[in-house]
A and B are shown apart, each in its own frame.
Chain A
């Protein structure tokens, strides 16, 4: 069973622009993720302050901002790792704020990590099979994890990420860029509705980052998945995002197509530029 086929969470009322049956004004595209009035503080540090974000189905959105701006806090609230102090989050019309990471994963939210989270002593193929097994829902006591059908599916996904040659190698032996791709491939095994990528090219050399993003985008092309990716590299953002959301001090300061955001005065000042007021960091 794919995540998209599973149900759970509490349906929320359909209102213009949010929730079940909601569509993006102008384009009529259904809304996949809707965050309303999200607030999160850690003591005196405000990591999210009235964050309102809506992401239509199929869009590729980049989250940018300096360290501590609130990007990762937002991702952690969407994936259930953090519970918002106030506000609501809806996925495809179902309220998910307050649910745990496991429940949210089953509703169709998958993520990759800045530092790839793999079973290092297992082969790349076994890592994929673990991901497939977890996405099954029921953990069978007797059905073989390495059945031909499962292996075939896992290998097909590895091939899409150009990882087939590494299938039998231990994850611990793989180079950093390959681990990143494997981490993302694992996240895709359950055919998620929403995929969150945390700095997919961090730690990857300048020469490798574009080919790697090309591979990721090509692999995602056949999936009807909405993507949010946290990124610091503005070249990557410009080239691969449909839309950019800029965070500063827990707030959204710009939300538009890449060129418009990167030319925004506040973004130039607080995110890409060098003029920053003292004490503005959060998260």
Chain B
């Protein structure tokens, strides 16, 4: 009982810090130029896909095929907008997440039986199968993909001059809520058991918990986040094509997850933003060798922060906790 109040104080402090960050990001949006708003929206929507990979990493597996759920969420939202006449951004985004979760669910029990490179390669194979289908499907626009119109928010039209900020604000709020839920999940009973699976799955199984079921659930949750990211990206770009499911897209999500490490949710978005900035500027100033710059950037981070960007503040917090 003695530690109830420090714990409650810690939760309150985290919640207030999260709310403060959310409001600060929204306020910052008013001061941002259009290009930075778009770049930030892309960073947030890609970051939420990498957040799914981080959740999987916490249970000891890495998906190299999140492009599949990213594309599935984007295509589901795009088809709902163009063929079902749904224009509400919130419905399209959550629908995209749900569609990806539904697509991933049948594969989850199978994939959860594999570990390491086998899990990674199977997820990559699935994403490339979807890529192949999308490229060959004339009804889905083939290799060119197709466009979608500007969405509405709760029935209200979005003016062209406000579009970048509105989508940015929507991304901040939705992803803020999802990151909070992910944090709650990470601190939950299931989240802690997932962490233990990464460390010693034999022991977890002998303690009576199902390792495969825990990994399967994490895979479906990661798929939901991937689908939300895909739908957000679709709305920001107004266009979708099969490249969403290509292996390079999946690789970028893994890149961000490794850069962030698996100890902090916030680090995922910091890493995603850093990658978008490095990519944009390297693409601008040395367009033919920007991948080289990205590679060097990752090597530097791995060399000096092997536990990811998140370790910059989580390690300090852990040390402070140990001292206390």
Contact = CB atoms under 8 A, between A and B. Distances in A.
A145 B7 CA distance: 12
Contacts of A140: 188-190
Given A122-B195, A139-B209, A168-B321, A130 B188 contact: no
Given A142-B185, A168-B322, A134 B207 contact: yes
Interface stretch (A15-23, A28-36, A98-106): A98-106
B189 A133 contact: yes
Contacts of A117: 200, 202-203, 206
Contact of A186 (B188, B202, B207): B207
A101 B187 contact: no
B196 interface: yes
A152 interface: yes
Contact of B7 (A105, A136, A142, A148): A148
Contacts, number: 102
A188 to B, nearest CB: 11
B184 interface: yes
A126 interface: yes
A282 interface: no
B36 interface: no
B1 interface: yes
A265 interface: no
A3 interface: yes
A146 B7 CA distance: 9
B3 interface: yes
Contacts of B4: 148
Given A122-B195, A122-B199, A133-B192, A152 B206 contact: no
Contact of B199 (A106, A120, A152): A120
Contacts of A142: 184-185, 188
B205 interface: yes
A134 B204 contact: yes
Interface string A116-156: 01111110001101110111110111111111100110000
A102 B211 CA distance: 10
B208 interface: yes
B122 interface: no
Nearest to A130: B196
B48 interface: no
B214 interface: yes
B291 interface: no
A93 B199 CA distance: 35
Given A119-B195, A148-B3, A168-B321, A139 B206 contact: no
A119 B189 contact: no
A118 B200 CA distance: 7
Contact of A135 (B195, B207, B210): B207
B73 interface: no
Interface string B254-294: 00000000000000000000000000000000000000000
A89 B189 CA distance: 32
B208 A139 contact: no
Interface in B160-209: 184-185, 187-193, 195-196, 199-200, 202-209
Contact of B208 (A3, A126, A147): A3
Interface in A1-26: 3
Contacts of A137: 208
A200 interface: no
A94 to B, nearest CB: 16
A94 B206 CA distance: 19
Contacts of A106: 208
A61 B191 CA distance: 37
A148 B199 CA distance: 24
User: Nearest 9 CB-CB pairs, A to B?
Assistant: A119-B199, A134-B207, A145-B192, A105-B208, A134-B209, A117-B203, A139-B190, A130-B196, A133-B189
Interface of B: 1, 3-4, 7, 184-185, 187-193, 195-196, 199-200, 202-210, 214, 321-322
Interface of A: 3, 79, 101-102, 105-106, 110-111, 113, 117-122, 126-127, 129-131, 133-137, 139-148, 151-152, 168, 186, 190
27 contacts: A3-B208, A79-B206, A102-B206, A105-B205, A105-B206, A110-B206, A117-B202, A117-B206, A119-B199, A120-B199, A121-B199, A126-B192, A127-B196, A133-B209, A135-B208, A139-B189, A140-B190, A141-B184, A141-B188, A143-B188, A145-B187, A145-B191, A146-B192, A151-B3, A152-B1, A186-B207, A190-B208
